[in-house]
């Protein structure tokens, strides 16, 4: 029986596959828990030199499962993003280089998942988007920081304010992806890059990853308690109920700012 996250190995390359193709690999609580477990387990893994993260089917990842989000909002009074933020936190700190192999949609949490990998190889059909304002949602401050680090202030504003897609050539120009190739060449290109890195001295590679992370770590000292409180407040807002319902019902939401 297929699982929501499949893990396989070829030599020193570990492949982590999100396996809900019928749901465009939308992240369920089960998938998030398994991704967290896999990424956390890499800390003491000397055998793995490179990790490739990919999605089964036509899309990389369509973000959080909207059905589960609606159920969580109905039962708990809010939509919690803590679990997905924990996954990103662990992924970013995996000692091995990580490569996202991205095709089709990388939306909201799927976009952030790709950006939290060290490198991204994308197909020409790729579409990145953060349509949170269409749902009435916001993301925690560290996830805003990740966008700023990757594409800069003006483009982050456009991505978040509009919720529109950033397609292949624009994503390449904004450094959201490292390599852009035809869909037919995606797998070959991603694993060729992984093999190149895996063939290099692992102590050197891991040191450079650690040093680059350390150089950027000062951003994490920014005070944000007030922003975190606002994230929690918005998660309980009426607009979230309306936004999630409208998305599932394929209609235009009517937000009231409360």
Q: Name all domains of the chain by residue range, CATH numbers in brackets.
A: 5-183 (3.90.226.10)
For the cut 80, the answer to whether the pLDDT of residue 185 exceeds it is yes
- H-helix segments, the chain: 29-41, 66-76, 82-92, 109-115, 141-151, 153-162, 168-173, 186-198, 202-216, 225-235, 238-249
- Tokens coding 225: 């308690």
- Dihedrals phi, psi of 253, to nearest 5 degrees: -75, 155
Q: Indicate the burial class of 139 (C-beta count within 10 angstroms; 0-12, 13-18, 19 or more).
A: buried
* pLDDT in the model for residue 76: 56
* pLDDT in the model for residue 232: 86
* pLDDT in the model for residue 82: 58
Residue 223 is classified by DSSP as: -
Could you tell me the pLDDT band of residue 221, with boundaries at 50, 70 and 90? confident
Of 77-81, 101-105, 149-153, 215-219, the poorest mean pLDDT is in: 77-81
Average pLDDT over residues 192-220: 93
Residue position matching structure tokens 């956390």: 40
User: Which residues lie closer than 8 Å to 183 by C-beta, 6 or more apart?
Assistant: 103, 123, 124, 125
* pLDDT in the model for residue 224: 84
* pLDDT in the model for residue 19: 98
Could you tell me the pLDDT band of residue 75, with boundaries at 50, 70 and 90? low
R_g of the chain computed on alpha carbons:
18
For the cut 60, the answer to whether the pLDDT of residue 245 exceeds it is yes
Could you tell me the pLDDT band of residue 103, with boundaries at 50, 70 and 90? very high
User: Which residues lie closer than 8 Å to 85 by C-beta, 6 or more apart?
Assistant: 140, 142, 143
Average pLDDT over residues 56-63: 97
For the cut 80, the answer to whether the pLDDT of residue 72 exceeds it is no
Could you tell me the pLDDT band of residue 117, with boundaries at 50, 70 and 90? very high
* pLDDT in the model for residue 204: 98
For the cut 90, the answer to whether the pLDDT of residue 115 exceeds it is yes
Could you tell me the pLDDT band of residue 86, with boundaries at 50, 70 and 90? very high
Could you tell me the pLDDT band of residue 88, with boundaries at 50, 70 and 90? very high
Could you tell me the pLDDT band of residue 1, with boundaries at 50, 70 and 90? low
pTM: 0.91
Between 68 and 87, the higher pLDDT residue: 87
For the cut 70, the answer to whether the pLDDT of residue 81 exceeds it is no
User: Which residues lie closer than 8 Å to 24 by C-beta, 6 or more apart?
Assistant: 55, 57, 58, 59, 61, 62, 104, 105
C-alpha to C-alpha distance for 35 and 188, rounded to whole angstroms: 24
């Amino acid at each position: 029986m297929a699982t929501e996250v499949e893990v396989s190995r070829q030599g020193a390359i570990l492949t982590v596959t999100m396996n809900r193709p019928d749901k465009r690999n939308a992240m369920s609580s089960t998938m998030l828990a398994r991704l967290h477990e896999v990424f956390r387990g890499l800390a003491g893994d000397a055998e793995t030199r490179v990790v490739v993260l990919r999605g089964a089917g036509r899309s990389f990842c369509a973000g959080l499962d909207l059905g589960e989000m609606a159920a969580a909002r109905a039962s708990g009074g809010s939509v919690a993003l803590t679990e997905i933020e924990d996954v990103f936190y662990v992924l970013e700190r995996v000692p091995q280089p990580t490569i996202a192999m991205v095709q089709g949609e990388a939306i909201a949490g799927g976009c952030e998942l790709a950006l939290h990998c060290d490198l991204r190889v994308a197909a020409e059909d790729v579409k990145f988007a953060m349509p949170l304002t269409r749902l009435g949602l916001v993301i925690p401050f560290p996830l805003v920081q990740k966008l700023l680090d990757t594409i800069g202030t003006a483009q982050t504003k456009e991505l978040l304010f509009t919720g529109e897609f950033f397609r292949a050539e624009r994503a390449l120009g904004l450094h959201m992806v490292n390599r852009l190739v035809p869909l037919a060449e995606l797998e070959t290109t991603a694993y060729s890059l992984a093999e190149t890195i895996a063939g290099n001295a692992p102590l050197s590679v891991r040191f450079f990853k650690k040093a680059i992370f350390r150089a950027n770590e000062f951003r994490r000292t920014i005070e944000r308690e007030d922003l975190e409180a606002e994230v929690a407040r918005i998660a309980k807002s009426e607009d979230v109920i309306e936004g999630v319902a409208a998305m599932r019902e394929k209609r235009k939401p009517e937000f009231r700012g409360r």
